């Protein structure tokens, strides 16, 4: 429902990093976080809160 929130005209922050709903096994959560971050970036979320900043910088540089 990000589009609905964007329509409010306020910045959107999502803190999804390493959450249990991303993957059952804690070791799988970083990869799931990266995949969701790509989706959130495509949805034009203003801020994405993550634990592994370096991995996100590398990922976003690759897809830029």
Say what the pLDDT of residue 49 is. Answer: 97
Q: For the chain, what percentages of helix, strand and coil (3-state, to nearest 5) are there?
A: 50, 5, 40
- Stretch 27-43: mean pLDDT: 95
Query: Among 11, 56, 57, which residue's Cα sits nearest to residue 35?
Result: 56
Say what the pLDDT of residue 23 is. Answer: 87
Q: Which residues of 21-42 are buried (b: 16+ CB within 10 A; e: fewer)?
A: ebbeeeeebbebbbebbeebee
Say what the pLDDT of residue 36 is. Answer: 96
d(CA 63, CA 1): 24
Say what the pLDDT of residue 27 is. Answer: 87
Tell me which residue has tokens 């990000």.
2
Indicate whether this model's pTM tops 0.85. yes
> Is 90 exceeded by the pLDDT of residue 29?
yes
Query: Higher-confidence residue: 61 or 24?
Result: 61
């Amino acid at each position: 429902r990000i589009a609905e929130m964007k329509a409010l005209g306020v910045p959107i922050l999502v803190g999804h990093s390493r959450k249990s709903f991303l993957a059952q096994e804690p070791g799988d959560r970083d990869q799931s976080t990266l995949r969701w971050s790509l989706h959130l970036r495509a949805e034009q979320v203003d801020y994405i809160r993550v634990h592994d900043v370096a991995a996100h910088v590398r990922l976003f540089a690759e897809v830029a």
